[in-house]
Structures are given as structure tokens and as C-alpha cells.
Chains A and B, each alone.
Chain A
Amino acid sequence: MTFSRTDNGDETVLRVEGALDAVTAPELRPTLDALVAEGKRRVIVDLSALRLIDSSGVGAIVSLFKRVRANGGQVSVVGLRDQPLAIFRLLRLDRVLSS
């Protein structure tokens, strides 16, 4: 898994590539915590290059969504396809997180 963060004012785009799972989700957590701590108002999570996600990866994104929302901000997930889309659909997260 690799990820990149691009800031443009209050908006941040977080692009995650590869696999976000029980192995790699802990690597992403500090970046997610930083986005919350910085009080970002709008976070766009770009998963167009994500090959695989599991429940641990979903938990990390949902945690980000809840904490940013609690701060009055918004998280959107874009680019879902293939296996990650199947997971988001099953968990009904596509309705909540997809912009």
C-alpha cells in the first residue's frame, strides 16, 4: 500500500493505492489522525487505485469519516471499483461516503 496526501486550503485529497487491509491499515492511521487533528473541513479519499480492502481498512476509513464529521467536516470517497466497491456496497457505505 502506498498513499499520498495533497492539501489545497481546507480540502485534502488522500489517495490510497494497492491493498488497505489488516497489514497496511496501521501504516495509514497516523496520517488519518493528523487530518483529524488539523481540523480538515473536507477530505476526499481517492480509492481509484485501490486493489483490495478488508474490514480493517474499512474500519480506518469509517473512523476518519466519523471523526471529521464530528468536527463539522466532510469525508467523501471517490473512485471505488471492483473488490473495494463490492465491500462498500455490502456495508452500505457507498451511500454514505460516496460523493
Chain B
Amino acid sequence: MIRLRVPGELQYRDLAIRVVAAACKLVRDDEKSGDRDFESQVVSAFGEAFNNVAIHGYEGRERGDVDVEIEVEGDRITIYVTDTGSSFDFTNVPEPALDDLPEGGLGVFIIKSFMDEVSYRAGRPNVLRITKRFGAHAAPERPDRSDEAGDKTG
């Protein structure tokens, strides 16, 4: 387990992302999938998760920390993002209309699209768990939207 605790502020985002990127390099490509987007997709999803906490979770309240726990098991990486800010309802985030070229509201879409499993437990603390397996699927252009707040099975 890799653990990192940083203040829930945007200026610590890059530091946390670099740790996640380094952890991605520990994940094995057991199926020799040659998935070159694995790190890009995990980093993208984690970055949006960190943004949600720093921008929305701690908005208007005393800033707490963001705890990041990373598990690397074989060809799989799981990241837990824990905070004590406002809870975030993943189930009620509308899917963006990409053809309209939206300028916002893309964060949760990116998280759900790039990760194989996404789950969120609201409370104190809030815990977001995101998992991705190497070569599980190619970069999606039209991701399956049936998972909502629960886990994907693909």
C-alpha cells in the first residue's frame, strides 16, 4: 500500500498526480496488452477526483486533507481518495452532451469513463474508490453509462 496525505488544495494536485503516475508504472501488463493509455487514463481520473475534493468538497469550509491510498496488485491498480469535505453525489451528475462541446461538468464523466470500477461512500470521511486493470478495455469513445455510482463490470 502506498499512502499519501496532502492538504485538500489545488496546489498539491500535481504532487499527488506524480505519485499516482509513479504507481502506475508498478502495474504489470500481464496480458501483454500494450495499453499505452493506462497511465494517462488513471492519472486523468485521479486528477478529476482530486479537483472535486479541492474545488467542491472543501469549498466554503475549513480545508482538510486528502488521503490517497494506492494498491497495486498484479495488473490492477486501486486508488482510494478520502476527504472530510462536503459529500458528492455521483449518481445525480448528468452525462455531458459531448456534441454540444461542454466547457464544464466533465470531471465525473472522465472518472467513470477511464476507470473500470468506481464506487463512492458518502460520509465522514467520504471515500472514492477507483480501480483499473491493465488492458481491461481500450480507451472508450462511448463509455457504458449503466454503472452509475456502482462498479462497472466490463
A11 CB within 8 Å of chain B: no
Using A62-B103, A90-B140, A90-B141 as known contacts, say yes or no to A22 and B55 having CB atoms under 8 A apart.
yes
A55 CB within 8 Å of chain B: yes
Q: Is the CB of A92 within 8 A of B103?
A: no
The smallest beta-carbon distance between A34 and chain B, in angstroms, is 18
Query: B residues bordering A, Cβ < 8 Å?
Result: 10-11, 13-14, 17, 37, 39-41, 43-44, 47-48, 51, 54-55, 98-99, 101-104, 106-107, 110, 113-114, 139-141, 143
Q: Is the CB of B101 within 8 A of A62?
A: yes
A89 CB within 8 Å of chain B: yes
Q: Chain A: interface residue count, which band?
A: 20 to 34
Task: Name the interface residues of A19-74: CB closer than 8 Å to any CB of B.
Answer: 19, 21-23, 52, 54-56, 58-59, 62-63, 65-66
A98 CB within 8 Å of chain B: no
Complex interface: chain B residues within 8 A of A87 (CB): 40, 44, 110
Q: Is the CB of A54 within 8 A of B11?
A: no
* CA–CA, A66 and B100, complex, Å: 10
The listed residue (A22, A23, A56, A86) touching B40 by CB distance below 8 A is A86
Seed contacts A21-B51, A22-B51, A22-B54; 5 additional CB < 8 Å A-B pairs:
A19-B14, A21-B47, A54-B51, A85-B40, A93-B101
The smallest beta-carbon distance between B77 and chain A, in angstroms, is 16
Which residue of chain A lies nearest to B111 when distances are taken between CB atoms in the complex?
A55
Q: Is the CB of A82 within 8 A of B40?
A: yes
* CA–CA, A93 and B96, complex, Å: 13
The listed residue (B47, B107, B114) touching A52 by CB distance below 8 A is B47
Using A21-B47, A58-B106, A83-B44 as known contacts, say yes or no to A90 and B113 having CB atoms under 8 A apart.
yes
Complex interface: chain A residues within 8 A of B17 (CB): 52
Q: Is the CB of A66 within 8 A of B40?
A: no
The smallest beta-carbon distance between B99 and chain A, in angstroms, is 8
* CA–CA, A9 and B46, complex, Å: 41
* CA–CA, A40 and B56, complex, Å: 35
Q: Is the CB of B103 within 8 A of A54?
A: no
Q: Is the CB of B106 within 8 A of A86?
A: no
The listed residue (B13, B43, B98, B99) touching A23 by CB distance below 8 A is B13
Complex interface: chain B residues within 8 A of A23 (CB): 10-11, 13-14
* CA–CA, A87 and B40, complex, Å: 8
Which residue of chain A lies nearest to B142 when distances are taken between CB atoms in the complex?
A92
The smallest beta-carbon distance between B141 and chain A, in angstroms, is 7
